[in-house]
């Protein structure tokens, strides 16, 4: 219980590190990019590769937050362009895979080899 009689949420009892939130942007963005890249390259189903691509994009977005103070409009335009291109590319790829195969398993794409 706090002094005013209201109960604090659980997060209120956790001590914050003295380094602050802004220094966690680079490690968070790097780990998100690496996790997205691993999902993108190691999974067989196309839908999990799409999820890996989206996680990779989120890591790039988090890293772009460092430039938000210096050039906010440029960062917003880059995010908008990146998001729209990513959506179009992923939807086109999934549509073509779905038309060519009955399954979205990318292991079946090896049948396309010459």
Domain boundaries, the chain: 23-105
DSSP letters of 47-94? HHHHHHHHHHHHHHHHHHGGGTTT-HHHHHHHHHHHHHHHHHHHHHHH
What percentage of the chain exceeds 70 in pLDDT? 75
Looking at residues 61-87, what average pLDDT do you find?
A: 77
Length of the chain: 114
Q: What is the pLDDT of residues 30-59, one digit of tens each?
A: 999 999 999 988 988 877 887 888 888 888
13-23 tens-digit pLDDT: 655 555 555 67
Q: What is the distance between the alpha carbons of residues 68 and 88, in angstroms, rounded to a whole number?
A: 25
Average pLDDT over the chain, rounded to an integer: 75
**Choice between 96 and 39, residue whose per-residue pLDDT is larger:** 39
């Amino acid at each position: 219980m706090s002094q005013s009689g209201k109960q604090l949420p659980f997060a209120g009892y956790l001590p914050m590190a003295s380094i602050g939130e802004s220094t966690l942007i680079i490690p968070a963005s790097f780990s998100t990019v690496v996790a997205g890249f691993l999902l993108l390259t190691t999974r067989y189903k196309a839908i999990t590769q799409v999820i890996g691509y989206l996680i990779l994009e989120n890591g790039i977005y988090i890293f772009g937050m460092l430039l938000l103070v210096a050039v906010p409009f440029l960062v917003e335009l880059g995010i908008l362009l990146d998001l729209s291109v990513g959506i179009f590319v992923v939807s086109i790829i999934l549509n073509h895979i779905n038309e060519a195969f009955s399954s979205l398993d990318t292991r079946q794409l090896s049948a396309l080899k010459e």
